[in-house]
Structure formats: C-alpha cells, structure tokens
Amino acid sequence: MVANRASVHFTFVPEFSPGLEGVVAAQTAVSEVDGANGRLIYRGGYLIEDLSPVVSFEEVAYLLWNGELPNKTQLDALCRQMSAARPLKDTARGTLMAMDPQTDLMDTLRTVVSAQGATKTLTKPTQEEAIALTAVFPSIVAAAYRRRQGKEIVEPRSDLTHAANLLWMMGDEEPPVERVHFLESYLVLLADHGLNASTFAARVIASTGSDLTSCVVGAIGALKGPAHGGATFAARTMLDKIGSADNAEKWLRDAHARHERFAGFGHRVYRTYDPRAKLLREMAKAAAPELHRTAARTEELALQILHESHPERPNATNVDFWASVVLTGAGIPKEMFTSLFATSRVAGWTAHVLESLADLRIIRPASVWTGPPPGKKPVPLASR
Amino acid sequence: MVANRASVHFTFVPEFSPGLEGVVAAQTAVSEVDGANGRLIYRGGYLIEDLSPVVSFEEVAYLLWNGELPNKTQLDALCRQMSAARPLKDTARGTLMAMDPQTDLMDTLRTVVSAQGATKTLTKPTQEEAIALTAVFPSIVAAAYRRRQGKEIVEPRSDLTHAANLLWMMGDEEPPVERVHFLESYLVLLADHGLNASTFAARVIASTGSDLTSCVVGAIGALKGPAHGGATFAARTMLDKIGSADNAEKWLRDAHARHERFAGFGHRVYRTYDPRAKLLREMAKAAAPELHRTAARTEELALQILHESHPERPNATNVDFWASVVLTGAGIPKEMFTSLFATSRVAGWTAHVLESLADLRIIRPASVWTGPPPGKKPVPLASR
C-alpha cells in the first residue's frame, strides 16, 4: 500500500487474517504493487510500463539491487560478473548428473541451486552472491531441459546477453533476435512483485540470519506451487485444451458448469487489469499469432462468463495468462514455464533479502491454539 | 496465544509489527507456546514435561501427525515405514558424493533432502511423505558427518530406533544406551514449537500448493540462521570460550563490557523459564558432568549480569543453552548441532504443512512502500 508513513501508524485489522491478507509484513523500496490503480512500481519509482520498453533484464536486476539504473560502465561490469558466474560448479554439475533426467524442472532447479551455492561456513548475503545466483539460473534450467531430451549440455557464451544465453543453451543454434526480445520482456516484467509468497518466503528465511542460497532455494519451493508460479503452466494447459478460438465458448461454458476455475484470471492484489498482463497482451500477437487468436477469444469470453456469474468480483486477466502466450512465442516449452518465472524473479528475491539486512529481525508470528486445553496426561505405551 | 476463539475476533495492532511479532499468522492444533506461563503444549493437549519422560521420538512424531499417541500396533507400523525410508535413494547418494565433504552440514542437508524428495510431477503433501522425509534425516546427517572425516558411510539398521540409528550411523560401534537416551530426549523436546521461523517458512511455501520436500528444504534454510537453529552451536561455542566454571565470571563480565550478547539467553515468546531448558538442565549433569559445571556457573552469572543491567527485561535461559550440554553428552560434536535440530523439527514442519492443507490459502502479506513516488521516467542507457 502506498501510504504517507508519517500519518499512518495504527489501523484496525482482524486478529487473524487468513493468508496474511492485508497484513503489512515489511517496509520495502524494491517494488510496490498498487492493486487499486493497476500499477506496478519498480525500485526508484519507475512504472513498469515506462521501464520495460527501454531496459534489459540485466539493467532491471541492477536497478533492483542498487536503486538506480546502471550507466554503460556499470552495466558492462555487471555483465562480466554474470558471465563469469554462469558455468555450473563441479558440485552443481555432479548433482545435476545424479538426478533422474525426467525430474520436475523446479525440483532440479531447487537441488542444483542448493548445490551451486553450498559453502563451508555461513556467509552473509552480498550483492556479489545475488549476481552469481541470478546468473546461473539459465545454465541450470537449460541444462536440465536438455538432459530431459537426452541431449548434451551446451555451455554459455560470454558474447551473449542473459536472455540470449538461455535460448542458446536450450537450443542447437543461434537464437533468433525476436525470440530473445520476447523472452527479455518477460524477464523484465516478472523480476519483482512486492511481497508475493516466494519473496516473502525468502525474507522469512533471511530473517534468521541465514545465507542467500537458503533464501533462494526456499523461494524456488514456494514459486513451484500452482497458486503461484505454477499458474503460467496452468494457463497454457487450459489454452491447449481449448485448442482454437472457435472452441473457446463451448469449452469455457462447459468448464464453468463443472465449477472449474479458469486459469489466468483473478489476483489477490490487483482490483483492475494487471499492467504486466496488458504489456504482454500487446506483445502476444507478434509473438505467437495462432495461440494469440485462441487466447484473445478465451479472454473475452472468460471475463464475460465470470462477470455474469459474479458481477461484484474484480476478475481481470492476470499476468500468467498472457505470459503463457509470450513465452510460447519465445520458444519456451510449457514444462519450463515455472522455472523461467524463477529465472526472472530471482533478481527480486535477492534484492529483497539484501534490503532486509539493513534492519534484520526474525520473522516469528503468533498463532491461535485450536487444540484442547493443556494438561492431558500421556498413557504409557503398554496401556494404550 | 491461548484464546477463547468465540470471544476474540478483533484487536488493535500496529500497522507494521516488525518480525510479525504478535501478529497471528495461523490457527493451529499442532503445538502452542504459552510464553507468559512458560508452557509448551504438544498436539492433543500434552504439556511437554508430562510427555517427554514417557515417549520416544517416533511416538511424538506420530502424535504431531495424527493428534493422538500410537498404540503398539500403530507404533510398530510407523517404525517399519521409517526403517524402509531410511536408506538414501541413488539420486540423493549421488548428490551427497558430488558435494565437497567439508561443506556446511546444513547446506549438505538442504541439498540432499532436496534430491531425496525430488519427483517427476508435483505431489500433494501426504503423511507417507512426512514419514519418509523425517526418517531419512539421520541417514543424511550421519553420512555427511562421516564424509567430513574421510570415513565410509554406515548403513542404517532395522533393529534400532530413530535416535539409536543416528548414533550408529555416526560411529563405529553400538551406541551406548545412555547416549541414546539423551539424544532421544532432545529429539522429543525440540520436535515442535508453534510458529517459529522455520515452521512458518514451511507453511508459507505450502500455501502456494507446493510439495512437502519444497517446504522442508525451505525450513532447513531458515533453521540454519544463527538467530534460530544456529543458536545451539553459538551457546556451545561460548561455553568453549569460557572453558571452566572458574573462568566464567571474568569472561562474562568482559564480554558484557564489550556489549557482546550472551548466547543461550532470551526468547521472543517466553517471558519466563523455557520448559524445555528446564528439562534439559535437569538432564545435563548426568549427560556431561564437566561441561555442566561450567554451564551451571555461566547460567547463574549471566542471569545476574543481565538482570543488573536490564532489570525490566525477562532474560531467562533458552533451550539452546542446555541443549548444547545435553547434545554434547549424547556424543554429538557441535558442528552437527543445527542439523540435529533439523532432525527433530522436521516432524513439526511436516505436521504443520499437513494441517495447513485442510484450509489452504496463499500466504501473501502486504507491504508499505518506502520508495519515491511513482512516475520517474527511465533515461535510455546511451544517455546515462
């Protein structure tokens, strides 16, 4: 919530707000989701629609970590650091090779990141570590993807950007520039989003004084859930089931009659159209024309059906719906979607952890006891 | 907080409570920390001091998962399930072998648990998985410990209990019964503790619909921090520096003059003596007589010094202080302390996740924006 800090000190909240909805858990200058007005603000005060057309993922990561956009010298230095951190360490490579190639990509990512960041003694999170962890995500995701297909791992190239490297390591040839552009836009738009569940998980872990890898590994686990990062996969799966614009009405009416939720609609915070969804929608037609036709018709009808049955609810399209189309246009298969989300959001996770260090306090909430009153005496095993 | 649920609905809380102190984040019947009265209640309404003398770790885990203590048939079934789940899968073994033997044990545990629990498709948390994950912790911790020493890994035995297996796999001989007893008591006492930071991290991760391994891996990362699970190691390290009962006064007065915090004192929730610390203190003399002498004198003086400088503060000894003595008596070297804490608490983590499934709602709190007002226009890279 955007608030005048001097004037707002106390408010009346329910004792237990399920899911901590509306409960303030942090002060942050990394990003702000202004749900009422459909605005997403990145660090420094940039609206996402102003920022995304002019910056690369590397620039956004720099912004989230440092509070300002880099100049050419700073950006070059960052790119060199990321390039050096892209190869997997022996430990991480050995771990990847020990895993079943058909493992869920998020499980592989969780495990290999944990191995890549393992140290001999506890380290306090630093920006250098944030850069190194962010840099290695495409290498892990692409290597795991190629192993699934029984292909050799492709090494990163120092002459390519972060987004281009990901496509390069996935494929067998030079990635087409338009695909790199779609992927880049996706990575910029998803890089941070307030106190979403995975970022909050990272902050909870950081609050004990733990290391950055532990925070990132926990966040990967949170992102994996279908109510969070898994939603992009679900949106694409729904579009696959619908199959064509002509079939959208029948499919959606039938699904609605079965009380099935439409994937890609509704959000905890936004009460109007998600600005990221808007930007991705504009890009979707060029990215994947065929899928765009199905998606556009699906969106139109889904919003209509949802409005008919619950006119009081805000039910705008969320980022996952149009992200699934743009990622498809970037040449990303849907089983990689959640790990691509992680590849973007790791910039935000690490920025939040680094910010939280300035005033670290263990996050240890209270709970309400719903069990019986204390004092029941245990019966020894022999008498049970 | 123990509250009459029907009567308490609203309360006046500050808009932002750092560390979510006093903010209710869940309703739970798994355990309750009654800090005002120094009581810890386990599921079913058992006070920890009634429970711990009569139950094994396996029985407590069963209680936390099921809500009642097992009878002989139920306990035998659980022990068979745990026995079957104790060996490392090939993936986990390969991952362990890929890691530097000198890696922090918590980093190894985080990575190998992640590998052990990796699956091909997303699975909803089940009690069977909770049992399997809990069962495998001693195998990983002991194997990692032996690798550090350049020794062969020892396989678990089906005729030994959970606690005895841990000591068996660490050592080269049959574990002495008194050591097993001390370890068992520790494992029972630490198995759950309300919404502590690692348990809360597990619940945040579970709230997105993610899998149980992701929750446990995130919780391991949170526990690693020195403000949480790392505190037992810190307490033992302080006792090592003090060295003897005779040196306690000089060391503590000097440390206090340097404004150094005494490890093992103070807790967010308890306003009086931690009941677990009391039970462990009673056991400490028999467990490690020499270290007990130093610890007893240290406690006496530390409480005195803390009271002198801050008479208004509750500064009782916490569980970490006496746990460090009892674990020493159980034959556990201090570099394993945090991973032993995890070996106990995994029962609570998994019980909380399973409980949360009944009413799953994504944990996505709000934040307060402290950055500049939105609308700053980004300057293209060439002009920066």
pLDDT at B366 over 90: yes
Residue written as tokens 């009642």? B68
d(CA A218, CA A202): 6
Selected residue of A71, A79, A95 to mutate for chain B interface (largest B Cβ count, 10 A): A95
Section A266-275 average pLDDT: 83
Say whether B122 and A59 touch across the interface (CB within 8 A).
no
Say whether A208 and B229 touch across the interface (CB within 8 A).
yes
Say whether B369 and A15 touch across the interface (CB within 8 A).
no
pLDDT in tens, B127-153: 999 999 999 999 999 999 999 999 999
Say whether A224 and B211 touch across the interface (CB within 8 A).
yes
Which residue in chain A has the smallest CA separation from B72?
A381
pLDDT at B273 over 90: no
Closest CA to B23 of B378, B365, B373: B365
A354 close to A30: Cβ distance less than 8 angstroms: no
On chain A, the residues whose CB falls within 8 A of the CB of B114 are 107, 110-111, 114, 217
pLDDT in tens, A131-175: 999 999 999 999 999 999 999 999 999 999 999 999 999 998 899
Q: How far A359 CA lies from chain B's nearest CA (Å)?
A: 9
A115 close to B95: Cβ distance less than 8 angstroms: yes
Residue written as tokens 């029962």? B347
Say whether B222 and A228 touch across the interface (CB within 8 A).
no
Least confident range of A67-76, A324-333, B268-277, B288-297: B268-277
d(CA A225, CA B208): 5
Q: What is the pLDDT of residue B16?
A: 84
A292 is catalytic: no
Q: What is the pLDDT of residue A313?
A: 85
Which residue in chain B has the smallest CA separation from A210?
B225
d(CA A139, CA A294): 32
Say whether B195 and A368 touch across the interface (CB within 8 A).
no
Exposure string for B135-163, b = 16+ CB within 10 A, e = fewer: bbbbbbbbbbbbbbeeeebbebeeebbbb
Instruction: Mark out the alpha helices in B54-161 (DSSP H runs).
Output: 57-66, 72-85, 90-98, 105-116, 127-148
How many residue pairs bridge chain A and chain B with CB atoms within 8 Å of each other? Answer: 475
Least confident range of A126-130, A311-315, A339-343, B368-372: A311-315
d(CA B65, CA B83): 18
Dihedral sign, Cα of residue B217, residue B220, residue B224, residue B228: positive
d(CA A354, CA A64): 10
Closest CA to B294 of B234, B250, B244, B237: B244
d(CA B90, CA B96): 10
Q: Which two tokens stand for residue B364?
A: 């996505």
Q: What is the dihedral of CA A28, A30, A33, A39, to 10 degrees?
A: 130
Residue written as tokens 């709602």? B361
A9 is catalytic: no
Residue spans of beta strands (DSSP E) within chain A: 10-14, 24-28, 31-34, 39-42, 46-47, 366-369
d(CA B169, CA A357): 38
Nearby residues of A216 by Cβ (< 8 Å), 6 or more positions away: A113, A117, A133, A202, A346, A349, A350
On chain B, the residues whose CB falls within 8 A of the CB of A359 are 18
CA–CA distance from B170 to each of A13, B63, B138, B164 (Å)? 51, 27, 9, 10
On chain B, the residues whose CB falls within 8 A of the CB of A100 are 91, 118, 120
pLDDT in tens, A346-373: 999 999 999 999 999 999 999 999 999 9
Say whether A14 and B12 touch across the interface (CB within 8 A).
no
On chain B, the residues whose CB falls within 8 A of the CB of A102 are 120
The beta-carbon contacts of A44-47 under 8 Å, at least 24 apart in sequence, are A44/A68, A44/A69, A44/B371, A44/B372, A44/B376, A45/B371, A45/B372, A45/B373, A45/B374, A45/B375, A45/B376, A46/B374, A46/B376, A46/B377, A46/B378, A47/A275, A47/B374, A47/B375
Q: How far B85 CA lies from chain A's nearest CA (Å)?
A: 18
What SS3 class is residue B366?
Answer: strand
The residue with greater pLDDT, A290 or A5, is A290
Q: Which two tokens stand for residue B339?
A: 């991973």
A320 is catalytic: yes
Say whether A367 and B227 touch across the interface (CB within 8 A).
no
Selected residue of A74, A114, A124, A192 to mutate for chain B interface (largest B Cβ count, 10 A): A114
Which residue in chain A has the smallest CA separation from B20?
A365
d(CA B180, CA B91): 30
B89: number of Cβ within 10 Å:
18
Say whether A222 and B211 touch across the interface (CB within 8 A).
no
Query: What one-letter code names the amino acid at B35?
Result: G
Which residue in chain B has the smallest CA separation from A206?
B222
pLDDT at B279 over 70: yes
On chain B, the residues whose CB falls within 8 A of the CB of A218 are 201, 205, 217-219, 221-222
CA–CA distance from B121 to each of A102, A104, A132, A216, B117 (Å)? 9, 6, 28, 21, 11
Closest CA to B190 of B315, B325, B340: B340
Confidence bin at A266 (pLDDT 50/70/90): confident
Say whether A227 and B207 touch across the interface (CB within 8 A).
yes
On chain B, the residues whose CB falls within 8 A of the CB of A377 are 46, 50
Q: What is the pLDDT of residue A363?
A: 96
Say whether A110 and B210 touch across the interface (CB within 8 A).
no
- Give the pairing type, strands A31-34 and A39-42: antiparallel
pLDDT at B2 over 70: no
Q: Which of B95, B362, B384 sits opposite A197 (nearest CB)?
A: B362
Q: What is the predicted ipTM?
A: 0.95
Nearby residues of B373 by Cβ (< 8 Å), 6 or more positions away: A2, A45
Q: What is the pLDDT of residue B185?
A: 98
Section A302-306 average pLDDT: 95
For the annotated catalytic residues of B, the residue numbers are 228, 267, 320
Q: How far B63 CA lies from chain A's nearest CA (Å)?
A: 11
Q: Which of B28, B91, B106 sits opposite A370 (nearest CB)?
A: B28
Residue written as tokens 């994996």? A224
d(CA B162, CA B79): 8
Q: Which of B10, B227, B371 sits opposite A44 (nearest CB)?
A: B371
On chain B, the residues whose CB falls within 8 A of the CB of A225 are 205-210, 214, 362
d(CA A1, CA A171): 42
Say whether B224 and A211 touch across the interface (CB within 8 A).
yes
Q: How far A131 CA lies from chain B's nearest CA (Å)?
A: 20
Burial class (CB in 10 A: 0-12, 13-18, 19+), B264: buried
Q: Which of A27, A196, A362 sits opposite B19 (nearest CB)?
A: A362
Query: What one-letter code names the amino acid at B72?
Result: K
pLDDT in tens, B48-94: 999 999 999 999 999 999 999 999 999 999 999 999 999 999 999 99
Selected residue of B112, B208, B339 to mutate for chain A interface (largest A Cβ count, 10 A): B208
A266: number of Cβ within 10 Å:
16
B178: number of Cβ within 10 Å:
13
Say whether A200 and B204 touch across the interface (CB within 8 A).
yes
Q: Which two tokens stand for residue B306?
A: 């803390």
pLDDT at A3 over 50: no
Q: Which of B103, B195, B373 sits opposite A120 (nearest CB)?
A: B103
d(CA A233, CA A321): 9
Which residue in chain A has the smallest CA separation from B218?
A218
Report percent pLDDT > 90 for chain B: 90
Q: What is the pLDDT of residue A273?
A: 87
Dihedral sign, Cα of residue A146, residue A148, residue A149, residue A151: positive
Catalytic position from the list A162, A193, A267, A352: A267
Nearby residues of B310 by Cβ (< 8 Å), 6 or more positions away: none
The angle subtended at Cα B186 by Cα B173 and Cα B181, nearest 5°, is 45
Least confident range of A373-377, B2-6, B119-123, B144-148: B2-6
Q: What is the pLDDT of residue B15?
A: 72
d(CA A204, CA A190): 21
Confidence bin at B334 (pLDDT 50/70/90): very high
On chain A, the residues whose CB falls within 8 A of the CB of B370 are 5, 27-29
Closest CA to B227 of B257, B190, B194, B268: B268
pLDDT in tens, B3-43: 433 333 444 444 788 999 989 999 999 999 998 899 999 99
Catalytic position from the list A34, A211, A274, A320: A320
Section A179-183 average pLDDT: 98
Q: How far A246 CA lies from chain B's nearest CA (Å)?
A: 31
Average pLDDT of the residues of chain A: 94
Catalytic position from the list A228, A274, A292, A352: A228
pLDDT in tens, A201-220: 999 999 999 999 999 999 99
Determine which helix (DSSP H) or strand (DSSP E) holds B10, and give its type and residue range. strand B10-14
